Each structure stands twice: as structure tokens, then as C-alpha cells.
Amino acid sequence: MIIFKSATDISRYLIQQNQQGIRNAFVPTMGALHDGHIALIKKARAENKLVTCSIFVNPTQFNDPRDFKKYPHTIEQDILLLAKAGCDVLFLPSVETMYPDGLENKLHYQLGDLENKLEGKYRPGHYQGVCQVVHRLLNIVKPAKLYLGQKDFQQCMILKRLVEIIGLNTQVIVCPTRREPGGLAMSSRNMRLSIDEKKQATAIFEVLNSIKENIKNKDLDVLKNEAIHTLNQKGFKVDYVAIASTDDLNEVKKYDDNYTLIALVAAYLNEVRLIDNMLLND
Ligand code: AMP
């Protein structure tokens, strides 16, 4: 695996590869890698000749400075895991490389209503920060394919829109969420949970399953309120539980077979904010 820290160097290398007809698949991450990230790398590996991963903890997407400060860093282990998974190129930029003119956002992305609901509502500015960094990464890496995780469903929708806005010919591929044996969605933030908290956190998967099982025979508001109640009882502080259409993430009040529905949850377990989702009629 070749590791680049300079944007110019990686860009030059990938252009040379492209000129030889070798198209590039890209997996952007913030590091502290787990099996969810590695599944994306392995899928990209199986489907492409050249796989690039980036590790960059992007300061502009953290609306909570404490979350940024406490974000886990495990770079040596990450490098080993990536090499073992068959990643070809790792981009490891510094903040100065990604933001040579400072962190201020000079571009505003027209993301529509999508950036103001659910995650966007509870993390103001988050998706502008995500777009800011991914736009820069895409300009440097210019991938033919971009591999993302369903775990961040709303982010996948936002990034599909970003690819359209900037007019890149990049195919977005969304991969299923990888889970711990008890059902907890893998996340770098899980490293901040104790063993007991990890057990407690499986409640999120359980309420998502319960919504899915009962979607056709119970009122959706009742289902939602039951989920919030269960999570509160298990010690969570809930930001939202939503049952929404995958078209626009607008909440739905009645089950309708004509729409693909998704349940989404964001909740704090003590200091750690966890998100998860489940497709309901796939
Ligand atoms: P992150 O490092 O959290 O920014 O995530 C980098 C990429 O990995 C994003 O596309 C995430 O959606 C994806 N990802 C994170 N957790 C998982 C998971 N448990 N399963 C599959 N993909 C994931």
C-alpha cells in the first residue's frame, strides 16, 4: 500500500493510473477503522483494480467540539488493517493540506430541505462540513466509484446530491451496515463505550427490529413513541426516532407499500451519540 500525505502527489499518481485505464474506487473515512469500514474496502477491492482510502478527521463537520476532541485515533492499526484488506493507496492529509486557506466555509452547498431534517436538524452545519471535505477529497482523488455505508443513510443521500452538484462522473455505491454480534451498528464511536454500555446500546437495534416487525399492523406514531419510550427506559437520551420515506426522508404517518420506508434513530448513551437505521420493507 502506498501512503500519500500530499494532495499533489496522490493526485498525480492517480492521474497516471487513470491514463493507463486503471479507474479508481474511493472509500473516505475518519479512521479508527472497524469491520464496517473494512467491508467497504473489501467490496471496492472485489469490484475494482485500484482502491484508495482516505483517513481524515474533518474538523468542519463536528458541531460539538468535545466530540471532535474525543474522536478516536488508531492510525497504526488502521494502516495494518487497510494493507491486509488489500487497499492500494492511503491518503493521510493534514488539516493544512485539506484546508490551506483556513477552516471557514466559503462555499455553500444547495442541499435543499435534506440538510435541515434529522441529523441536519440536530447537528447544524454538519452536512455543509461533510460536503466541504468530500468535495475537496473528490477533486483530489477523482474516483470512478465512491463507496459509502448505509449506516449514515442521510449522508449517502447528501453525498449523492454533492456528486450531482459538482458534476462529477462518480458512481455512488451504498453498502450494508455491519453490526456487532448483538446487533449494535459498528462505529468508531463505539470505542468510547464500556462493555456494559455496548450491551445497553443493542437496544437501538432492538427497537429498529421491533418497528420493522410491526410496521404493517400498528399505527406509526404509536410505534415511534414505543421506541422512544424503550430507549428512554434503557438510559438513552433520544434525539429522534423517525419513520420516513427513503425518497426524501420526510416522515410518514401511515404505512404505504408504494414507498420504501426507513426507520432512523439518533440517541445519546451517556456522552456518546449513536445513530442507526433499518430499511423497513426491503
Ligand atoms: P466514518 O469513518 O465514520 O466517517 O465512516 C466512513 C465510511 O464508513 C462511511 O461511508 C460510513 O457510512 C461507513 N461506515 C461506518 N460504519 C459502518 C458500518 N457499521 N457498516 C458499514 N459502513 C460503515
Q: Compute the radius of gyration of the chain from its Cα atoms.
A: 19
* Position 53 pLDDT exceeds 90: yes
Q: How many Å lie between the centroid of ligand 1 and the Cα of residue 41?
A: 11
Return the ∠ at Cα 27 (arms to 208 and 25), rounded to 5°: 125
The structure's pTM equals 0.97
Q: Whose CA is nearest to atom 18 of ligand 1?
A: 36
Catalytic residue among 37, 73, 108, 126: 37
Mutating to test ligand 1, I would choose from 151, 202, 272 the residue with most ligand atoms within 8 A of its C-beta, which is: 151
Q: How much is the pLDDT for 106?
A: 78
Task: Dump strand ranges (E) for 56-127.
Answer: 89-91
Distance 219 CA to ligand 1 centre (A): 32
Ligand 1 atom nearest 177 alpha carbon: 20
Which residues have CB under 6 Å of ligand 1?
29-30, 36-37, 39-40, 148-149, 151-152, 175, 177-178, 185-188
**Distance separating alpha carbons of residues 147 and 107, to the nearest angstrom:** 24
Indicate the Cα dihedral angle 204, 208, 209, 214, nearest 10°: 140
Geometric angle at alpha carbon 179, from 223 and 225, rounded to 5°: 15
- Is the model's pLDDT at 142 over the cut of 90? yes
- Between the alpha carbon of residue 6 and those of residues 54, 98, 194, 259, the distances in Å are 12, 9, 37, 45
- What average pLDDT score do residues 201-208 get? 98
Query: 37 an active-site residue?
Result: yes
User: Which of the listed residues 37, 55, 189, 204 should we mutate to test ligand 1's pocket, taking the one with most ligand atoms within 8 A of CB?
Assistant: 37
Q: Residue 38's pLDDT band (boundaries 50, 70, 90)?
A: very high
**Which of ligand 1's atoms lies nearest the C-alpha of 150?**
12
Question: pLDDT grade, residue 165 (50/70/90)?
Answer: very high
Confidence of residue 281 (pLDDT cuts 50, 70, 90): confident
Whether the Cβ atoms of residue 140 and residue 132 lie closer than 8 Å to each other: no
pLDDT classification of 105: cutoffs 50, 70, 90: confident
Number of the ligand 1 atom closest to the C-alpha atom of 37 = 8
